[in-house]
């Protein structure tokens, strides 16, 4: 397994689909009750997923005020709060976890919401010349096995970019980016990516996005997690310099589509589920899934 030390978490989206709650609390701080029964902001659950995968450092791409909010949250128990928690050992343990997470965090501001591709591009100097994991800051990832979803992706990394995938039906296509590709001969869960299409119409998906061995009417879509080589930053840089946008934004899916034509690029079907907190329904589903998985597969982030 090759070392992957860095993870980027884009969390600068405005969360318009979660209005009016998002006008009061940033989407990344929406609370959920995690598998250990503790209330946490979704961003913490995402960071813990990245750390459980083995990365050492995490960069949050957020709105300019986010660094201060995060620094105030991911820290040791402040002295003035300690009396309120006297005798509540669990709270001090939680605060210790927050402090340890805080030590591993860096921040980059995205001052204008110019899309997911742009958010990743904003972290380019922090990333440097290393491979890096990307996890969407408003997704909950629940593994279906003993290894976290992030660890499954990192274990499959062979020096080439690899995107986490999950099967979706035709009715779900309007919400997802989908891979075009062919299955790997060695690993049934691995796909050689030949293209990525964002929200393909059904006819386009039927004609171009079928992957051999995957049942008819099922496509392999983005899971919300990627592991990129620095080649991705070159593609994003070219897109930003030439102002190559789609629907007004620098789309990560468009950059993936370019990258997989330049370098070997894989997709990995993850054993697990992901829940998108971007919508009220997704948030309810995420909470229900966490509840159902109570006490199971909670990975230590220490
Ligand atoms: P989404 O497009 O789902 O989030 O981005 P959004 O922009 O908050 O959604 P709306 O306003 O409800 O349509 C997926 C992830 O990418 C981040 C978001 O914070 C979310 O974690 N993102 C998106 C950025 O960091 N920057 C952007 O410009 C866009």
Structure confidence by residue, pLDDT tens digits, 180-190: 999 999 898 99
Spell out the SS3 assignment of 258-270. Answer: HHHHHCCEEEEEC
* Per-residue pLDDT, 110: 98
Structure tokens at 78: 């402040």
Band of residue 295 on the pLDDT scale cut at 50, 70, 90 = confident
Euclidean distance between CA atoms 134 and 46, whole angstroms: 10
Residue ranges, CATH 3.90.550.10, the chain? 1-139, 156-270
> For 156-270, which CATH superfamily applies?
Spore Coat Polysaccharide Biosynthesis Protein SpsA; Chain A (3.90.550.10)
Whether residue 20 is preceded by a cis peptide bond, meaning omega within 30 degrees of 0, is yes
Quick check: pTM over 0.95?
yes
**CA distance to 11, 70, 156, 244, per residue, from 26 (Å):** 9, 11, 33, 28
* Per-residue pLDDT, 299: 57
Q: Are 6 and 53 in contact (CB under 8 A)?
A: no
> pLDDT tens-digit profile of 75-88?
999 999 999 999 99
Question: Measured in angstroms, how far is the CA atom of residue 239 from the centroid of ligand 1?
Answer: 18
Question: Measured in angstroms, how far is the CA atom of residue 146 from the centroid of ligand 1?
Answer: 29
Structure tokens at 127: 């990333």
Q: Please state which architecture CATH assigns to domain 1-139.
A: Alpha-Beta Complex (3.90)
What residues are in contact with ligand 1 under a 6 Å CB criterion?
A: 10-17, 27, 61, 110, 113-116, 118-119, 136-138, 278
For tokens 């102002």, name the residue. 243
Band of residue 109 on the pLDDT scale cut at 50, 70, 90 = very high
Band of residue 44 on the pLDDT scale cut at 50, 70, 90 = very high
Rounded to the nearest integer, the mean pLDDT of the chain is: 96
The atom of ligand 1 lying closest to the CA of 249 is 28
**CA distance to 12, 118, 143, 176, 252, per residue, from 114 (Å):** 10, 6, 31, 19, 11
**CA distance to 4, 12, 246, 248, 249, per residue, from 115 (Å):** 25, 9, 9, 8, 5
Burial zone of 19 (CB within 10 Å; 0-12 exposed, 13-18 middle, 19+ buried): exposed
Question: Measured in angstroms, how far is the CA atom of residue 91 from the centroid of ligand 1?
Answer: 31
> pLDDT tens-digit profile of 214-230?
999 999 999 999 999 99
Question: Measured in angstroms, how far is the CA atom of residue 115 from the centroid of ligand 1?
Answer: 7
């Amino acid at each position: 397994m090759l070392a992957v030390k860095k993870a980027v978490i884009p969390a600068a989206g405005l969360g318009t689909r979660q209005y009016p709650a998002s006008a009061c609390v940033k989407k990344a701080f929406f609370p959920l009750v995690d598998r250990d029964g503790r209330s946490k902001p979704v961003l913490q659950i995402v960071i813990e997923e990245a750390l459980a995968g083995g990365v050492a450092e995490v960069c949050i791409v957020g709105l300019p005020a986010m660094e201060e909010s995060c620094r105030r949250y991911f820290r040791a128990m402040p002295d003035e709060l300690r009396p309120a928690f006297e005798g509540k050992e669990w709270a001090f343990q939680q605060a210790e976890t927050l402090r340890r997470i805080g030590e591993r965090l860096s921040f980059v501001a995205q001052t204008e919401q110019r899309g997911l591709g742009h958010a990743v591009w904003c972290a380019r100097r922090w990333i440097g010349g290393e491979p890096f994991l990307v996890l969407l800051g408003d997704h909950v990832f629940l593994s279906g096995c003993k290894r976290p979803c992030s660890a499954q992706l990192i274990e499959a990394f062979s020096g080439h970019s690899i995107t986490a995938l999950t099967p979706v039906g035709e009715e779900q296509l309007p919400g997802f980016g989908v891979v075009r590709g062919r299955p790997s001969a060695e690993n049934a869960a691995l796909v050689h990516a030949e293209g990525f299409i964002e929200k393909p119409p059904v006819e386009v998906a039927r004609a171009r996005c079928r992957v051999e061995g995957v049942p008819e009417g099922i496509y392999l879509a983005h899971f919300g997690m990627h592991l990129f080589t620095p080649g991705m930053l070159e593609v994003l840089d070219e897109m930003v310099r030439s102002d190559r946008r789609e629907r007004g934004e620098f789309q990560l899916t468009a950059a993936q589509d370019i990258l997989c034509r330049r370098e070997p690029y894989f997709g990995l079907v993850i054993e697990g589920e992901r829940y998108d907190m971007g919508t009220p329904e997704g948030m309810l589903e995420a909470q229900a899934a966490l509840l159902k998985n109570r006490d199971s597969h909670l990975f230590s982030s220490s």
